[in-house]
């Protein structure tokens, strides 16, 4: 039991750190957001709520310029002010924003926040154990190698969650009568909207899958459902 104590302590430390960070994030989002009041998006959210047999889906506007959608640790859904401004400019449609809402609902419905808490705790334990082991043979750089390995593991788990949320969103959009085309068209626009296509970033360090991989997965699912 004593041999397992360091590992248990690492897991507990990671758990507490994640809970603290999640609480801080949720509070920050609440304090810097307001409810979304938009007729077009509200109607699309109503259709998705009906498909899920829910009374309503609440969406909030996070007051920042970045183009993004978020699901907070407490299950709230956010679109950034920057995303809505792009809609005002005609760069994205209501249906494309609805696909973002559906994706973030996927993160909530699939319990990705809880899973991320477990993943984060495990990553911390892996990092500490690898650091202690590698430093015996590679003093100085052992910590860097351990950090790279644990970060790559976390990125891989994050990409898995993104694929799952994409699949959930695709199924919900089809069931709600919106379809997957807005989801695909938004992915095609993302590099321009965000100002980055992710090129130059090693694949194993990415927290999100490459856009072409996500589009291919959605099209494959849609084709299978039609068949």
pLDDT at 26 exceeding the cut of 90:
no
Judge whether 48 lies within some domain: no
- What are the distances in angstroms from CA 62 to CA 4, 23, 105? 43, 16, 16
pLDDT at 112 exceeding the cut of 60:
yes
Give the tens place of pLDDT for each residue, 143-175: 777 677 677 777 888 899 999 999 999 999 999
Give the tens place of pLDDT for each residue, 168-219: 999 999 999 999 999 999 999 988 888 766 555 566 567 788 999 999 999 9
Judge whether 55 lies within some domain: no
pLDDT of amino acid 61:
96
Range of the domain at 183: 2-32+96-226
**Highest mean pLDDT out of 41-55, 101-115, 138-152:** 41-55
Residues 14 and 20: their CA atoms lie apart, in Å, by: 10
Read off the DSSP letter of residue 137.
Answer: H
Count of structural domains within the chain: 1
Q: Do residues 25 and 72 touch, judged by C-beta distance below 8 A?
A: yes
Order of strands across the sheet that contains 69-71 = 33-35, 59-62, 77-80, 69-71
pLDDT of amino acid 189:
94
Percent of the chain with pLDDT over 90: 53
Judge whether 56 lies within some domain: no
Percent of the chain with pLDDT over 70: 76
> SS3 of 15, please?
helix
Judge whether 113 lies within some domain: yes
- What are the distances in angstroms from CA 159 to CA 57, 74, 141, 155? 25, 21, 27, 6
Judge whether 200 lies within some domain: yes
Judge whether 171 lies within some domain: yes
What's the whole-model pTM score? 0.81
Judge whether 75 lies within some domain: no
CA atoms within 13 A on the CB side of 132: 8
Judge whether 23 lies within some domain: yes
């Amino acid at each position: 039991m004593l041999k397992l104590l360091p590992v248990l302590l690492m897991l507990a430390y990671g758990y507490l750190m994640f809970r603290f960070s999640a609480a801080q994030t949720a509070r920050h989002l609440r304090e810097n957001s307001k409810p979304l009041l938009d007729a077009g998006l509200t109607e699309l959210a109503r259709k998705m709520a009906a498909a899920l047999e829910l009374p309503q889906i609440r969406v909030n506007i996070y007051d920042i310029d970045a183009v993004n959608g978020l699901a907070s640790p407490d299950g709230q859904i956010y679109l950034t002010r920057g995303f809505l401004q792009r809609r005002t400019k005609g760069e994205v449609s209501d249906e494309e924003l609805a696909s973002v809402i559906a994706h973030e609902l996927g993160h909530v419905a699939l319990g990705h926040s809880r899973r991320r808490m477990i993943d984060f705790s495990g990553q911390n334990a892996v990092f500490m154990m690898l650091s202690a082991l590698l430093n015996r043979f590679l003093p100085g750089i052992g910590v860097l190698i351990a950090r790279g390995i644990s970060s790559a593991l976390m990125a891989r788990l994050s990409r898995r969650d993104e694929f799952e949320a994409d699949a959930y969103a695709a199924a919900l959009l089809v069931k709600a009568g919106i379809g997957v085309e807005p989801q695909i068209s938004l992915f095609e626009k993302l590099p321009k909207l965000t100002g980055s296509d992710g090129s130059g970033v090693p694949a194993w360090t990415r927290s999100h899958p490459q856009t072409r991989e996500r589009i291919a997965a959605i099209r494959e699912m849609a084709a299978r459902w039609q068949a």
